[in-house]
Chains A and B, each alone.
Chain A
Amino acid sequence: MADTESPRTVAPPDEVPLENPPSIARQLGLGFWVSVAFLAVVILLAVLAPVLPLNEPTKIAVGDKFEGPRPGLWFGADGNGRDVFSLTIWGSRISLLVGLIAITIGFVVGGSLGIVSGYFRGMFDKVVSFIFVTLLSFPALILAILITTLLGNTVFWISASLGLLAVAPVGRLARAQTLVFAERDFIAAARILGASDGRIIVKELLPNVVIPMSALALLGMGIAIVAEGTLAFLGISVDDGLSWGKQIAAAGTTRVLREAPHVALFPISVLFLTVLCLNYAGDRIREVFDAKELSL
């Protein structure tokens, strides 16, 4: 039913093969780079927090009780007169760290399981796929809470339990991607040339599977940050130290919200923008790479 008269077939400009395809950086668009810039600022502030001229986050009576924002005290003060701006920056350190470790664990474990099972198929694949299904059926947040309470609420175990939650979704995508590429000619060619399975996986499959998955890494990082915040909000995250979740939980009581909503609204806004930027950047990468995938 190639009805070329239908106006639908009038090709929109992005379907027209361009003579000079714009660079990847160009294709990702302004929004992507704004997001990356925001994330860079957040990460930089988190890393540099100890050397920045900030008020001690735990120091009380820096400002008046529930004082509103003013120059020098940009996000105002909380019920103890602590500097909310400083609290927010110090709080980001654990949130970002946990997000980073968790997603690394998820990718290393899930990615290798997915690639290996997708490459070798057979019984191993069946078992791994079943493990993925089981993990996905297990109520995620309950699992995270369980592991954290049983093993101790240190940064590592919290990251590990959140990483475990990432294993199944990451693994399934890695497996699906591997299945797609394992069928391609260049894998067969490598095999005919006598490359070992290990070599094929590392040299041929990995690069092709990892790039499209970088989008998932950004999205996953956002999810991990939210999950850590959730644990902290429920009162079961890292014991000592600050985090966004804890900060928002402390500011979320009726009393504080009534007296000084800014104590909650500032960390919520920063958390929201961080997650939004991670989501948007991940989304853009996925769209650009999906488009490339189609043109292969």
Chain B
Amino acid sequence: MALLDVTNLAVTFKTPKGPVYAVSDVSFAVGKGEALGIVGESGSGKSVTVKSLMGLLPRTAKVEGTAVYDGEDVFNLPKSRRKHFYGVDVAMVFQNPMTSLNPVKRIGEQLMEGMRFHRGLSRADAKARAIELLDLVRIPDPSSRLRQYPHELSGGMRQRVVIAMALANDPALLIADEPTTALDVTVQRDILDLLDSLRADLDMALILITHDLGVVRDRTDNIVVMYGGRVMESAATEDVFADTEHPYTEALQSAIPDMSMPRGTRLDPIPGSPPDLAIAPRSCPFAPRCNYASDECHTSIPALRAVGDTAVDAASPHLFACFNPRGVAANEGASA
């Protein structure tokens, strides 16, 4: 059974101009110790999805669907359970380490706060644990860092601190929302590798959110590709790359830089911009930017369906939402 099972999640924001459909009909699951990648551009709904799980959305957000964590309904936790759920069972790492740390509090204070609050550790125990955590995220000279302020650390170091903070209470699930987007290219890989090894060492599930398909390629078990608040394709990682069905996934792939490319090769950005989520969707959200769009794509929403030989009851069925799939499903589509 999966650790986290999200079914038909929908998030709508009430705004003075009318509702904004940020996330519609999103389902996925993460098993214990597994890594899931959620991939999409800005505005695809991936951040809103995890923020809804973390209870971080503003009051104007209406959340529908279910999220079951280890048998518990995340959206309806009893108050007493809720008090020690976030930051204990589930923790999160944010996009920008430059703004994720409170500028007026010492690193040590911020690290120890969570454990003291949730587990009532003594100052000395919390301090020992804080040093252990900084060591775990490979920050040199951890004990002297505790007295430093965030602005005294580099971006990469700060993100390590943020990760250490998230790990404070041994979460079973860590959500990382574009953890490297704001960092220098040179440290991006270090942070990603760190997350990967922590996941393995601590037997922790990881949801890694990114706009870069290349990032999740070697670091996740499953991938969900989102666009316009909807799931475009979801499958085991190797299936996504071996048999890409959705034109959007294909477009994301051609945007991955590849070292084997000759110098000067142009990456293909996807032309056009993401859809306006304020309009209730009546067609495939990607259709306006899609090279393969047919009339059908502009008039109705394609439902998620499975690639023929991955049965719906398999561990990770290969699902896609497209009328004109690009992979093996293209051939069977006619016969179906």
| Touch test A–B (CB under 8 Å) | yes
Is residue B87 contacting chain A, with contact meaning CB distance below 8 A? no
**Which stretch in A7-15, A35-43, A175-183, A233-241 binds the other chain?**
A7-15
CB-based contact A3/B47 at 8 Å: yes
CA distance A10 to B13 in the complex (A): 9
CB-based contact B46/A5 at 8 Å: yes
Question: Which residues of B in the span 28-71 have a Cβ within 8 Å of any Cβ on A?
Answer: 42-48, 57-58, 60-61
CB-based contact B13/A3 at 8 Å: no
Residues of B within 8 A of A4 (CB): 42-43, 274
Question: Which residues of B in the span 86-145 have a Cβ within 8 Å of any Cβ on A?
Answer: 95-96, 99
CB-based contact B43/A7 at 8 Å: no
CA distance A16 to B15 in the complex (A): 13
Q: How far is the CB of B231 from chain A (nearest CB, A)?
A: 15
Q: How far is the CB of A172 from chain B (nearest CB, A)?
A: 29
For A3, give its contact among B15, B17, B57, B95 (CB under 8 Å). B95
Interface size for B (C-beta < 8 A) is 24
Is residue A6 contacting chain B, with contact meaning CB distance below 8 A? yes
For B42, give its contact among A3, A10, A12, A13 (CB under 8 Å). A3
Residues of A within 8 A of B304 (CB): none
Q: A1-B182, A12-B16 are in contact. Are A7 and B95 (CB under 8 A)?
A: no
Q: A1-B96, A4-B42 are in contact. Are A10 and B47 (CB under 8 A)?
A: no
Residue of A nearest to B13 (CB): A7
CA distance A1 to B20 in the complex (A): 21
For A1, give its contact among B43, B44, B99 (CB under 8 Å). B99
CA distance A3 to B40 in the complex (A): 12
Residues of B within 8 A of A6 (CB): 47
For A7, give its contact among B16, B44, B57, B182 (CB under 8 Å). B57
Is residue B225 contacting chain A, with contact meaning CB distance below 8 A? no
For B58, give its contact among A1, A3, A5, A7 (CB under 8 Å). A7
CB-based contact B182/A10 at 8 Å: no
Is residue B22 contacting chain A, with contact meaning CB distance below 8 A? yes
CA distance A13 to B278 in the complex (A): 13
Residues of B within 8 A of A2 (CB): 42
CA distance A182 to B85 in the complex (A): 57
Residues of A within 8 A of B274 (CB): 4
CB-based contact A7/B42 at 8 Å: no
Q: How far is the CB of A6 from chain B (nearest CB, A)?
A: 7
Residue of B nearest to A1 (CB): B96
Q: How far is the CB of B107 from chain A (nearest CB, A)?
A: 21
Of the candidates A4, A6, A7, the one having the most CB atoms from chain B within 10 angstroms of its own CB is A7
Q: A2-B42, A3-B47 are in contact. Are A13 and B17 (CB under 8 A)?
A: yes
Question: Which residues of A in the span 100-152 have a Cβ within 8 Å of any Cβ on B?
Answer: none
Question: Which residues of B in the span 144-190 have a Cβ within 8 Å of any Cβ on A?
Answer: 178, 181-182
CA distance A84 to B60 in the complex (A): 52
CA distance A12 to B15 in the complex (A): 7
Q: How far is the CB of B58 from chain A (nearest CB, A)?
A: 6
Of the candidates A4, A5, A7, the one having the most CB atoms from chain B within 10 angstroms of its own CB is A5
Residues of B within 8 A of A3 (CB): 42, 47, 95, 178
Q: How far is the CB of B212 from chain A (nearest CB, A)?
A: 15
Residues of A within 8 A of B43 (CB): 4-5
For A5, give its contact among B15, B48, B61, B181 (CB under 8 Å). B48
CB-based contact B95/A5 at 8 Å: no
CB-based contact A1/B95 at 8 Å: yes
Q: How far is the CB of A7 from chain B (nearest CB, A)?
A: 5
Interface string of A169-195 (1 = CB under 8 A from B): 000000000000000000000000000
Residues of A within 8 A of B95 (CB): 1, 3
Q: A10-B15, A10-B20, A13-B17 are in contact. Are A5 and B47 (CB under 8 A)?
A: yes
Residue of A nearest to B40 (CB): A5
CA distance A273 to B213 in the complex (A): 64
Residues of B within 8 A of A1 (CB): 95-96, 99, 181-182
CB-based contact A5/B60 at 8 Å: no
Residues of B within 8 A of A7 (CB): 13, 20, 22, 48, 57-58, 60-61
Q: How far is the CB of B18 from chain A (nearest CB, A)?
A: 11
Of the candidates B16, B44, B96, B178, the one having the most CB atoms from chain A within 10 angstroms of its own CB is B16
CB-based contact A5/B96 at 8 Å: no
CA distance A176 to B16 in the complex (A): 37
Residues of A within 8 A of B48 (CB): 5, 7
CA distance A164 to B95 in the complex (A): 53
Q: How far is the CB of A55 from chain B (nearest CB, A)?
A: 53
CB-based contact B42/A5 at 8 Å: yes
Residue of B nearest to A13 (CB): B16
CA distance A12 to B17 in the complex (A): 8
Residues of B within 8 A of A5 (CB): 22, 42-48
CA distance A13 to B14 in the complex (A): 12
Q: How far is the CB of A211 from chain B (nearest CB, A)?
A: 30
Of the candidates A1, A10, A12, the one having the most CB atoms from chain B within 10 angstroms of its own CB is A10
Q: How far is the CB of B222 from chain A (nearest CB, A)?
A: 21
Q: List 11 A-B contacts (CB under 8 A).
A: A1-B96, A1-B99, A3-B95, A4-B42, A4-B43, A5-B42, A5-B43, A5-B48, A7-B13, A7-B20, A12-B16
Nearest first, the 9 A-B pairs at minimum CB distance are A5-B47, A4-B42, A1-B96, A13-B16, A4-B43, A10-B15, A7-B13, A5-B48, A7-B58
Taking A1-B95, A6-B47, A10-B15 as given, write out 13 further A-B residue pairs in contact, using a Cβ cutoff of 8 Å, ordered by the A residue number: A1-B99, A1-B182, A2-B42, A3-B178, A5-B43, A5-B44, A5-B46, A5-B48, A7-B20, A7-B58, A7-B60, A13-B16, A16-B17
A binding-site residues for B, Cβ under 8 Å: 1-7, 10, 12-13, 16
